[in-house]
A and B are shown apart, each in its own frame.
Chain A
Amino acid sequence: MSSRERILGRVRRALADVPQDDPSYGEAVARDYLREHGARSPEETVELLAENLADYRAVVHRCGADELPSVLARLLAERKAATVLVPPGLDEAWLAETDTARVADRVESGAHELDRVDSVVTACAVAVAETGTIVLDGGPDQGRRRITLVPDHHICVVRVPGQVVSSVPQALERLDPARPLTWISGPSATSDIELDRVEGVHGPRTLEVILVG
């Protein structure tokens, strides 16, 4: 007997007490919880996102669409970034004003190459106001998961209010589970020393979020 059959057999014997007419998934799972916490206007939702991102030590900037290229140029200059990694589908116009050398992400570029890049600029798939979270889904303007992980400085552009939802349930509705997702809430952190939060471990130690719109 294979282990598969053995385990499934054990499960079935263990559940001998469960009746044939046990409630179905829909009947058994009550969803009395809220779809979102509190009622807010779209602008208030964006405010809350900014507040919660900052609370977990992300650096938040706000600007209009026409100002984005100059804001990006300024942030890269302030960081003294010599190179910036760019996902293949990022809007060309966003980086029109920066002198920082662009590095394209190629499938064959190894982790060591990524480690030598100073910054990375991406868009996002959705942002969650209540938790201060941005979600990347590997779309063309976000690139592979590794490019937002290995460099030490990540700038993420969120189009507001269109890409912002209030809550986790609303975010999941918008996302495609077939895509590899990365949910990011502030720069990497740890609570492993005396259960006290410290920012900056393996992921980018600086996360800047630009809310555009």
Chain B
Amino acid sequence: MSTRESKPDILQGTLDLMVLRTLGTMGPQHGFGLAQRIQQISGGLLDLNQGTLYPALLRLEHRGWVRSRWGVSDNNRKAKFYEITAAGRRQTDRESEDWARMVGIMDRFLDLAPEE
């Protein structure tokens, strides 16, 4: 199918994991709310182009990790709500482990002392 998906981009991968983790802790959320929450968790350190969230959400939906439906927001407006699926939770766990392992490996490299 699409060649884009089979080419995991490191940045793309991290955004997917952030979205999954956030949705996993929050319950159904619209795109704006999700963006706010990610910004908030990152402590504003992340320079997120909020528009990029939507292609990411579509991607996650195609893989069956996220599902969406139309609903009404707090201020009574029509909005699309996203929710994590069971498969999405499993994927979150897998990716979290991968991520932790990667971080561990990177740490070892960063801790390398100069050899005598």
A and B are partners in one complex rather than unrelated chains: no
